[in-house]
Structure 1
Amino acid sequence: MRPRSKLPALLLGSALLAGVLGAGTVATAAGPGGAQAAPADGHTGHTGHTTAVSTRASVDDPDGDGYIPAVPPVTGVTPSHATPPPRYFHEFQANCAVTHTAPDDPIVYPGQPGRSHDHTFMGNRTTHAGSTTASLYGGDTTCKAPADASAYWMPSLYKGGEKILPVGPQVIYYKAGVTDYTSVRPFPKGLRFVVGDPLQSAQEFRGHKGWVEGWECGDSFKNVDIPQNCPAGSQLNLRMQAPSCWNGLHLDTPDHQSHMAYPLVKPGTNDNVCPASHPVALPMIEFKMAWPVDGDMSQVRLAGGRGYSFHYDFFNAWEERTLRAMVDHCVVGGLQCDTRGYDQNHPERGAVLNSDHRLP
């Protein structure tokens, strides 16, 4: 019997939506990428990729119940309330370039090619609707470190009918999301989750715990939606942070979110700690994306709808020794590392990876 956990209250609306539309239902869409005009309440109305319950049998989930157990599970962990020596940084970069685009989503719609709205994929070159932990692990990648065969993806961006792709390696941070950065441990192999929700309203996007500064271009920032105009020569930017506390039991759950949680602020302090329900501190992923588009932005949109429908997916396929070395040296070690695990402000600490971005 697999361990179960109830859906958190904030996801109840999505679960009910799935019950009305049918899990995995795809709404009829118009235009490239299936975007629709947003109704008056600010929602996109698109159901091509949601955090509602959607399950299907796959190699990773043979019975198709949506719960993929961690083997072995991580139990007996208590959230750390310790306050280690202050370090302003505890991070490294795992920068990855775009590989391809496709209307696929191996987390929400496993084994169902063409079921999702269009996504822009980074990292693993082979990611498709049928991708599994085994198919991704050890695969070719556009990430700086060859050991990072993880798959990263987000809704594709359009300007009118033209698809706009980020150019070059995109900045993907691995940070400490909790105050006790020394308690952070590597992702378990095969962990996957969705950050955000394409059905969220503008207000929900602004209030999302992963919000950093919203959409940016030129001197305009903290925008909930894509700005109407961007200065010539500027780029459209967006940063969004992922939850970093894990329940230790599941690599995925039916809603693709409830096995993960954001840290909480400890009462009476400014310390961030994991909740008791999700006691295992993992790296906090932060997407820092840049699209080469400027000028009149009135026709710029996401495949899933308006700018506030932004969300992204992560499917971990790092080689374990390399990820542990990077996390231990940079995150636990309180450094500001580049993609090789080198902090230019502390050259005496050395680097984790060699000049080929490989573990010696």
Structure 2
Amino acid sequence: MEPEKDMPGESTCTTCQFSDDFSNYWTAVLYFRARNGTYKRVPQLGNNQFRNANGGLTVYYMQDAIYDQQQKSKVTAFQPGFRMFIGDVQARTLAEAARFRQLTYTCLDTFVTRSPELIALPNRKCKEGIMTSLRFPTCWDGKNLDSPDHMSHMSYPETGTFESAGPCPSTHPVRTAQVMFEVVWDTKPFNDLEWPEDGSQPFVWSFGDATGYANHADYVFGWKGNALQEILDYPCHFTTNCSESGAKFQSVADMNKCTQKVVVDEDIDGWLDALPGGFQAQYAPASG
């Protein structure tokens, strides 16, 4: 996607609750791998506050830590053309994944379970599904809307993780909102199917990673006008008092009406002999 693209101007609808948000949010798709080597796509569920949503993911923009109801720190909104990436699509070991903080999995014993957070895919059956959480860095260099690797123009705070008023390094002095994705994968239908005989977990990302270490996400800013900055300048917590900031909302029913036409004529929902694009599950780093 070209950075000059006017997403609010060219879009006809949005799947977001905030109706001025036309940003692009992307993660890979999770698949179940059966003992016979075939694959089946794992559906997504609406998060706890959006149970009627047609799957998708939940996106948070936070001035401070997620459970800080004050949300009063000053942060800078992104600008048109801004994009960032987090994760490593090639990672297959814990050491490779460790450089990215706060890319985690939660085995949902209940739909509101939020701990413990794991770095690899859970190795047991999860009663209510698996949730992936992807938190982007929060410090910007203040100059570049993108970088060759789509990451180096952003940095984690000096303290290592996002927290209320966490200081940014001098190389990336501009504190931005914490962008966080939560995706709930409905693995329940697969709990009654035969898992691998060796006791390993059967889920694999659509690009072939069966470890979970290559969890990654993309973000392309697309809010209309100054809408995001106006919301971030106001103590808005889980939509409480957000309307007082001038934010515009739409119902879940209207969110569900916004769909995209199929671009590639490919079966992704049946039982497949290979993952989309011809990928196969990979459980360890590629050799030689």
Instruction: Return the TM-score normalized by structure 1.
Output: 0.53
Q: Which has the higher contact order (CA 8 A, sep 6+)?
A: 2
Gaps of 5+ in 1: 1-57, 61-131, 343-349
Taking the TM superposition and a 5 Å limit, the aligned residue runs for 1:42-191 are 59-60=2-3, 133-135=5-7, 137=9, 139=11, 140-160=13-33, 161-167=39-45, 168=53, 169-176=56-63, 182-191=73-82
What is the SS of the residue equivalent to 1:308? coil
Compute the displacement of 1:303 (Å).
1.5
Question: Is the 2:126–2:187 Cα contact (8 Å) retained in structure 1?
Answer: no
The SS at the match of 1:326 is helix
Root-mean-square deviation over aligned CA pairs:
3.0
Is residue 95 of structure 2 the alignment partner of residue 200 of structure 1? no
Task: Give the Å deviation of 1:230.
Answer: 1.9
Distance 1:186 1:155 in 2: 26
The answer for the alignment partner of 2:204 in structure 1 is: 301
User: Which has the larger share of strand?
Assistant: 1
Report how many aligned residue pairs link the two structures: 214
Query: Aligned equivalents of 2:99 and 2:106: distance in 1?
Result: 14
Contact in 1 for aligned 2:64/2:73 (Cα 8 Å): no
Which string of whole-angstrom CA distances, capped at 9 and with x for unpartnered residues, describes residues 208-263 of structure 1?
4431653423277333322233244x111121210011111111111110001111
Give the Cα–Cα distance (whole angstroms) in 2 for the partners of residues 147 and 209 of structure 1: 30
Match of 2:170 in 1: 276
Question: Which consecutive residues of structure 2, in runs of 5 or more, have no partner in the other structure?
Answer: 34-38, 46-52, 196-200, 252-288
Give the match's secondary structure for 2:219: strand
Equivalent residues of 1:188, 1:316 under 8 A apart: yes
Give the letter for the 1:145 counterpart.
Answer: F
Identify the match of residue 229 of structure 1 among 111, 119, 124. Answer: 124
Q: Does 1:245 align with 2:139?
A: yes
Deviation at 1:290, TM superposition (A): 0.4
**Which one-letter code corresponds to 1:194 in the other structure?**
F
Change in 2 beyond 3 A, CA 1:339/1:206: farther
TM-score when scaled to structure 2?
Answer: 0.64
Distance 1:228 1:323, change over 3 A: same
- Indicate whether 1:341 and 2:247 are aligned: no
Deviation at residue 163 of structure 1 after TM alignment = 1.6
CA contact (8 A) 1:137 1:150 kept: no
1:182 shift after superposition: 2.9
% identical aligned pairs: 22
Cα distance, 1:354 vs. partner?
4.9
> Letter of the aligned partner of 1:159 in structure 2?
F
The amino acid of 2:247's aligned partner reads L
Q: Check the 8 A contact 1:187/1:282 in 2, yes or no.
A: yes
Partner residue, 1:99: none
Equivalent in the alignment of 2:231: 326
Instruction: Specify the code of the residue in structure 1 equivalent to 2:57.
Output: Q
3-state SS of paired residue (2:234):
helix
